Structures are given as structure tokens and as C-alpha cells.
Structure 1
Amino acid sequence: MDFISPSRGKMSFEEMLEDILAYIKGLPCSSYRLVVGTDSQVRRETCFVTAVIVHRLGKGARYYYRKEIQRKIKSLRQKIFLETSLSLELGDKITTYFSRGGIAETQVEIHIDVGQQGETKELIREVVGMVTGSGFEAKIKPDSFAASSVADRHTK
């Protein structure tokens, strides 16, 4: 599972997490948000992009992303649930890694590409329930920048 950092290039999952830890330890007195979000684009196939953002509140951020190509998914419902599942899976791996590394207090937010406007509003309760039931904080549009902005940029 390779990730890409716009500033550091291609990295493994472990290298990404070590980079995040180094970023946090670089200014330990700051507050941080760790955010995961997935977006997708359907063409002949479906391109899923999952973004991981470490936000140093008031002082910038770093982000990483990975791409995954799957068969063409025509159902919006199925696509949204798969995006959410990919974010949850990665959020769980990050949480597990950090709890072993002694910084379990860093909470992971899951950003879902659904909102009150448009076709996805019917799915909000279900996917937010899926995320909160898994122990994560859920954010939807317009607050889901990891999915609707960062990941979206790399699906094109």
C-alpha cells in the first residue's frame, strides 16, 4: 500500500506514519487533527483516492494519498459505502499504529463525501452511523475537506 506525499514523494504506509509522527513531534506543544477521507471518480473503471491529512492547527498541514483502481461502479450508494469503508479501514490501521507508538490520544476524523445538497443526502444517516459506530468522528460536506477537496483533486 504505497502513498504519495506531494513534498516527499512515494512512501510506504510505515514511512508515511513515521513522517506524521516526526511532524507531530517537531512541534509537540501544538494541537493536531488527523483526518482521513476518500473520493472516487467513475470512468471505464472507478478510481478511489484516500487522503490522510495531519493538520497542525493554525500552523499548516501535510497530506498523503493513495490511489486504487477497481471495476466500474455504477451505483452511487455502493460507491459512497466503498469510499467510507476505505477511509474506515485506513483510519483503523492508523489508530492501531499510533496507539502502539504511545500517542493514542490523537483522534482520527473520517471525512465522508456526502452532504445535505444533492443525491447523497439520502445516505447521510447510514454512513455517519457507520463511522461513529466504528469509534471515529464523522464530518460531511461542507466540512469534509479531506474527501471533497484533497482526495477529489487526485481522482482526476
Structure 2
Amino acid sequence: MSFISPSKGKMNFEEMMDDILAYIKGLPCSSYKIVVGTDSQVRRETCFVTAVIVHRKGKGARFYYRKNTQRKIKSLRQKIFYETSMSLELGAKITNLLALGGVEDTNVEIHIDVGHQGETKELIREVVGMVTGSGFEAKIKPDSFAASSVADRYTK
């Protein structure tokens, strides 16, 4: 699993987690939230981008992203469920390593690229249920900035 940090370049998952833990432990009195969101763009293939944002509340944030290309997915439903499952899988791995790193109280949110406007409104209940059933807090548009803004920027 290869990630890109805009400020530090290419890194693997373990290096990203080391960087996240160092960031959190660098100012332990602050409050933190980690946000994971995935977006995709369909052309000849489907390009998925998953963003990981570490928000130091009131004091900025860092982010990382990974790109993954799959065969062309024409079904919007299938694409949204795949995006959500990618975010959930990464969120679970991050949660496990946060616990091992001694910061298990850090909140992890999953941002889903669905909203009450447009075609995705029919999928909200199902994907939010999928996320909350996995033990994470779910955010949808307009509050799902990890998916609809950060990840979206790198799918193009």
C-alpha cells in the first residue's frame, strides 16, 4: 500500500502511520480526529483515491492519499459501495495501529461521497449503516470533505 504525502512524498502504510503517530505525539495536549474518505473517477478505467486526514483541531491538519486503478465500473451503486469498503478497510487498519501506538482514543471518521442532492441519495441509508455498523462515525455531503474535496482533487 503506497501513499503520498504532499509535504513528504511517497511512503508505505507503516511510514504513514509513524508520521501520523509522531504528529499526534508531537502536541499531545491537542485534540485530534482522523478522517478517511474515498472518491473515484470513471474514464477508461476507474481511478479510486483514498485520503487520510489527520486534523489537529484548531491547529491545522496533514493529509495523505493513495491511488488505485480498477476496471471500469459503470454501476454507481457498485462504485459507491466499493469506495465505502475501501475507506472502511483502511479505517480499521488505522484504528488498530493507533491502539498499538497508544493513542486509541483518537476518533476515526469515515467520509462517504453521497448526499441528499443527486443520484446518490438513494444509497445514503445503506452506506451510512455499513459504516456505523463497523463502529465508525459516518459523514455525508456536505460534511464529507475527505471524499468530496480532498480525494476528489486527486482523481482527476
The interval holding the TM-score normalised by the smaller chain is over 0.9
In the alignment, what sits opposite 1:109? 109
Cα deviation, residue 102, structure 1: 1.5
Give, in angstroms, the shift of residue 101 of structure 1. Answer: 1.6
User: Which residue of structure 1 aligns with residue 43 of structure 2?
Assistant: 43
Alignment of 1:1-156 (within 5 A): 1-156=1-156
More moved, 20-29 vs 62-71: 20-29
Percent identity reads: 84
User: How far apart, in 1, do the equivalents of 2:60 and 2:99 lie?
Assistant: 24
Query: Counterparts of 1:143 and 1:21 in 2: how far apart (Å)?
Result: 25
SS at match of 2:138: strand
Following TM superposition, where does structure 1 have runs of at least 4 consecutive aligned residues deviating by more than 4 angstroms? Answer: none
Shift of 1:107: 1.7
Name stretches of at least 5 consecutive residues in structure 2 with no aligned partner.
none
3-state DSSP of counterpart to 1:123: helix
Give aligned pairs, total.
156
Counterpart Cα distance in 1 of 2:107 and 2:56: 13
User: What is the TM-score with the length of structure 2 in the denominator?
Assistant: 0.99
Q: Deviations over 1:15-34 (max 9, x none)?
A: 00010111111111111110
Q: Residues 97-122 of structure 1, C-alpha deviation per residue, up to 9 Å, x if partnerless?
A: 11122111112100000000000000
Structure 2: how far apart are the matches of 1:99 and 1:114? 29
Q: Return the TM-score normalized by structure 1.
A: 0.99
